[in-house]
């Protein structure tokens, strides 16, 4: 069984304010073991990064200005996730942005039935506890010292460890 750990970084918190994706990271797993296949792109969102988002990930408008746009990478991204279960922490957030980007270019949206939300699993297993990615790393002794700022690929690496612990418990 193939799965993909997926994370995004964005220009802000809401697609209703036309915020966009600035980074997509994916790590492929086969039977919960990394295959060494990754998908990673920084994206030119074609709009300004909000101050709050910049504080989270540190990607400036200047840094993103010469990156590819979502339409330029969409085919390789969709090929990467095709027919795989997608593992996301707080799936509604990332999915809303991915589907917003897909809708802008008249592409079929990603179906929720193929998604596993690790935040939902954590909330069921540990009701009332902190279930952020950092809190779960701490709970499972996953070293997250590399995570000074949010980065889609680093967060995927951490989520891979958290996911395996969550479904193993």
d(CA 38, CA 27): 5
Q: Distance between the two ends of the chain, CA-based, in angstroms?
A: 20
- pTM, full prediction: 0.96
Hey, CA dihedral for 107, 113, 118, 119, is it positive or negative?
positive
**Confidence check: pLDDT of 95 > 70:** yes
CA distances from 168 to 121, 136, 158, 165 (A): 12, 14, 16, 5
pLDDT, averaged across the chain: 96
d(CA 63, CA 44): 9
Best CA proximity match to 56, nearest among 153, 145, 147, 135: 147
Q: Give residue for tokens 């889609």.
A: 152
Neighbours of 94 (CB within 10 A): 23
Per residue in 108-157, pLDDT (tens digit) is 999 999 999 999 999 999 999 999 999 999 999 999 998 888 999 999 99
The whole-number pLDDT of residue 169 equals 60
Annotated catalytic residue within 19, 57, 89, 150:
150
- Phi and psi at 129, nearest 5°, equal -90, 165
Region of poorest pLDDT, from 30-34, 91-95, 147-151? 147-151
d(CA 153, CA 111): 22
Task: Tell me what the mean pLDDT of segment 44-63 comes to.
Answer: 97
- Percent of the chain residues past pLDDT 90, beyond the cut: 95
Whether 57 is a known active-site residue: answer no
Per residue in 70-81, pLDDT (tens digit) is 999 999 999 999
* Radius of gyration, CA atoms only, the chain: 15
Measured CA angle at 158 (ends 160, 122), to 5 deg: 70
Residue 147, exposed/middle/buried by CB under 10 A (0-12, 13-18, 19+)? middle
């Amino acid at each position: 069984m193939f799965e993909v750990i997926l994370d995004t970084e964005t220009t802000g918190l809401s697609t209703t304010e036309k915020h966009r994706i600035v980074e997509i990271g994916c790590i492929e797993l086969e039977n919960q073991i990394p295959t060494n296949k990754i998908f990673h792109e920084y994206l030119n969102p074609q709009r300004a990064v909000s101050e709050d988002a910049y504080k989270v990930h540190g990607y400036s408008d200047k840094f993103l200005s010469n990156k590819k746009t979502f339409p330029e990478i969409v085919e390789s991204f969709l090929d990467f996730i095709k027919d795989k279960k997608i593992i996301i922490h707080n799936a509604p957030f990332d999915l809303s942005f991915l589907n917003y980007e897909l809708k802008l270019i008249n592409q079929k949206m990603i179906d929720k039935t193929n998604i596993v939300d690790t935040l939902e699993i954590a909330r069921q297993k540990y009701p009332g506890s902190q279930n952020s990615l950092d809190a779960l790393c701490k709970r499972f002794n996953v070293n997250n010292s590399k995570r000074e700022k949010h980065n889609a690929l680093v967060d995927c690496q951490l989520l891979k460890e958290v996911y395996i612990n969550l479904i193993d418990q």
